[in-house]
Amino acid sequence: MELLQGLSSRRSVRGFKSTPVPEEALRAILQAAIRSPSYTNTQPWEVAVVSGRKRDALSQILYDLASAGTPSSADVPAPTQWPPALAGRAAEHSARRFRVLGIERDDADGRNQLRLQNYRFFGAPCIIFLFLDSTLGDWSTFDLGLFAQTLALAAHGLGLGTCLQASVTHYPVAVRSFLDLPPSKKLVLGISLGYPDPAAPINRYESARAGLDEIVKWYR
Ligand SMILES: Cc1cc2nc3c(=O)[nH]c(=O)nc-3n(C[C@H](O)[C@H](O)[C@H](O)COP(=O)(O)O)c2cc1C
C-alpha cells in the first residue's frame, strides 16, 4: 500500500471478525513498530500481546469490572476537561458515532452497551497492551504514542484493523495481575487488533478532522 494512501485510509476499527491473526503477521507488525523513533533511541516500549483463551479471560475480567461501574484507576488518568475547541470535537465524535448506530441522545443503556464493547475488544481476537516503566517521563509517553501509531499503520498495511483504547487501561491492577507484571509497569494503552468486519454497523462511522486553517499558522 502506498504510504500516503495508507495514512489517509487508516481509521479506528470497532468491529472485528473472530479470525485469529497469524503469528507471522503479528511479528511483522511488531517488527515494524519497533522501528519507531524514540528520544535518544531509548525504545521505552514494553509490549504484551494477548490472544486465544488468555484474551477471552482477560476480556471477561475487564468487562465485569466495567459493567459493575467500577471507577477507573488508570495509571494515566483521563482528562477531566478540555479547552472549548477540543471539547467540541470530542462531543461531535460521540454524537456522530451514536447517530451511525441509531442510539438516541437519552438512550443511556445504548450508550453504556457501546462503551462496554471496549472491554470485548470489539470482538478482536488479539489485544496488545503497551507499558512504560513508571520511572519514565513525558518524552517516553510521546515515544510510546509513535510506537502505537506505527503499529496501527503496519497492521493497516497488512489488511488488519486496530483500535487504540484508553478505556482498557482503566483497571491496570487487574491487567498487571493477569499478566504477572509488577506495579512498576505503567499501563498506557491497549490496542485491539484483528481483521475488520465490514458488516459491523459501527465500522460505517468515519471520524472528521478540523481543517488545516484551524490548526496551522503559516509564517512566510
Ligand atoms: C490515546 C487514544 C485513546 C483512545 N481510546 C479509545 C477508546 O478507549 N475507545 C475507542 O473506541 N476509541 C479510542 N480511541 C480512538 C479515537 O476515538 C480515534 O482515534 C479518533 O476518534 C479518530 O478516529 P480514527 O482513528 O478513526 O481516525 C483512542 C485514540 C487514542 C489516540
Pocket of ligand 1 (CB under 6 A): 11-12, 14, 93, 118, 163-167, 189, 207
Q: Does the predicted model carry a pTM greater than 0.95?
A: yes
**Residue 182 belongs to some domain of the structure:** yes
**Phi, psi at 134, each rounded to 5°:** -70, -10
Q: Give me ligand 1 centre to Cα 198, in Å.
A: 19
Which residue, 153, 183, 202, is CA-closest to 16?
202
Please give the residue range of the domain that contains residue 136: 3-79+119-204
Q: If you take atom 30 of ligand 1, which residue's CA is the nearest one?
A: 164
Q: If you take atom 19 of ligand 1, which residue's CA is the nearest one?
A: 12
**Residue 147 belongs to some domain of the structure:** yes
Contact indicator for 69, 61 with CB cutoff of 8 Å: no
| CATH code of the domain in which 172 resides | 3.40.109.10
**Residue 215 belongs to some domain of the structure:** no
Distance CA 194, CA 121 (A): 10
Q: If you take atom 31 of ligand 1, which residue's CA is the nearest one?
A: 164
Tens digit of pLDDT at every position of the chain (220 positions): 699 999 999 999 999 999 999 999 999 999 999 999 999 999 999 999 999 999 999 999 999 999 999 999 999 999 999 999 999 999 999 999 999 999 998 999 999 999 999 999 999 999 999 999 999 999 999 999 999 999 999 999 999 999 999 999 999 999 999 999 999 999 999 999 999 999 999 999 999 999 999 999 999 9
Task: Give the chain's domain count.
Answer: 1
Q: If you take atom 5 of ligand 1, which residue's CA is the nearest one?
A: 165
